[in-house]
Amino acid sequence: MENHNIVWVAMDTDAKENQVALYRGWDKEPAGEWKAGMDAQGIRKLIERLQREKGELRCVYEAGPCGYELYRRLRNAGIHCDVIAPSLTPRKPGDHVKTNRRDARNLGRLYRAGELTVIDVPDQKQENLRDLTRAREDVRQDLTRRQHRLNRFLARQGCHYQEGDKWTLKHWAWIRKIRFQDDNAQTVLEESIRSVEQSKEQLKTFDSKVEENAQKHEYAKKVDRYKTLRGIATVTAMTLVAETWDMRRYRKAPQFMGSTGLVSSEYSTGERERRGKITKAGNAHLRRVLVEAAWQYRHRASASKAIKSRRKAQPSEVVSIAERADQRLNRKFWRMVDRYNKRPGTAAVAVARELAGFIWAIGQIQG
């Protein structure tokens, strides 16, 4: 039987502890089970223990908050290691008992059977860039929450802005003129304003750093090509680069679309076929920026001056893809809204899915 000389090592990790289950070949029960620390000393002892095993070593653990340090340490020691997607790990519907030991055992059996989905682990440079764009996204979300809190507080105090859009200079001037007689209310107002301003300063810092990275040689070409598409500026383009790195690792466009979670779910049996909402089983950061960019295609298909200037120095093949996207995605948005009576939000998600295909096509162009 195949794989009888392979030692399968499954690890259920958390911030402090690593539960290990070791299987030799096709043995039904683990040949060894123990706990190892997740600090440098614990990982070193784990490596020493594994290196005493005879046969080919294959280790696995689920991607999570512990990152990829364990993966890199094992690889550097010459030990094969895979990281798998936890959301795609098969689960028994009737199994309601969960412990680290049981999870490690189950992971080992599934890994040995080839039932787990292995993910691509970024190198340290890619991970650092991805952390930068994700941290920027976190700050942007914090800013939005703080603005909403301030706005709701003012509404509770009977202060309603009726003179235009919120968070413009005029709106801020109106907020700064507000004064409350009660000291507690005034303190809440001042601190809420300060928290919003703090988030805005943080966002400026991140934006500046993202722009700086976009000018670097290894990113500039990809960023400029993605920016030929409407709705994709520097921050969005850098998010695409950070999350995908090399688009050519997706052999076909549907693979990239599926990785974003923008494809429809399906429940079909026999001759009956039923499609539902999008799966959302993919990269949430990519999904967010794609849907955000897709809203731009509700406008007329003609390119603006800014888009034309971005396309000017680009290869004709890239420009052709971007121009086809202008026409097709605009038609799709309004066909779904006008002909099929879909909500604009639903149409934007459908456009985002096809936009991912155009991004994939641009990412395949070499040179």
Residue 1, pLDDT above cutoff 60: no
Rounded to 10 degrees, the C-alpha dihedral 34/39/43/44 comes to -120
Q: Is the pLDDT score of 366 beyond 90?
A: no
* 3-class secondary structure, 137: helix
Q: Dig out the tokens for 340 from the structure.
A: 């099929």
Tell me the pTM: 0.86
| The dihedral sign for the CA sequence 114, 116, 119, 123 | negative
pLDDT (tens digit per residue) in 227-282: 999 999 999 999 999 999 889 889 999 999 999 999 988 777 677 777 788 988 88
Q: What angle do CA 150, 156, 158 make, to 5 degrees?
A: 105
Domain boundaries, the chain: 6-113, 124-214, 217-363
pLDDT band per the 50, 70, 90 thresholds, residue 3:
low
Region 222-230 average pLDDT: 97
Per DSSP, the three-state class of 272 is: strand
- What CA–CA distance (Å, rounded) separates 11 from 106? 10
Contact 103, 11 (CB under 8 A): no
- Token output for 358: 């155009």
Q: What is the pLDDT of residue 344?
A: 97
| pLDDT higher than threshold 70 for residue 137 | yes
State whether residue 11 is helix, strand or coil.
strand
Give pLDDT tens digits for 69-85: 999 999 999 999 999 98
Residue whose tokens read 């097709």: 328
Return the closest-CA partner of residue 68 out of 136, 128, 6. 128
Q: Which of 347, 319, 346 is nearest to 333 (CA)?
A: 347
Residue corresponding to tokens 């990982």: 43
- Nearest Cα neighbor of 289 from 232, 211, 223, 248 is 232
User: What distance in Å separates the CA atoms of residue 290 and residue 280, rounded to the nearest whole number?
Assistant: 13
Please state, for a pLDDT cut of 70, what percent of the chain lies above it. 98
Q: Domain 6-113 is in which class?
A: alpha beta
Mean pLDDT of 18-27: 95
Question: CB under 8 Å, gap of 24 or more: what pairs does 252-259 form?
Answer: 253/356, 253/357, 253/360, 253/361, 256/356, 256/357, 256/359, 256/360, 257/353, 257/356, 257/357, 257/360, 258/282, 259/283, 259/286
pLDDT of residue 29: 95
Token readout for 175 is: 């907020």
Least reliable range by pLDDT among 89-93, 187-191, 290-294: 89-93
Query: Residue 290 has what pLDDT?
Result: 97
Q: How many C-beta neighbours within 10 Å does residue 31 have? A: 13
Residue 116 has pLDDT above 90, yes or no: yes
Mean of per-residue pLDDT scores for the chain: 93
Q: Is the pLDDT of residue 162 over 70?
A: yes
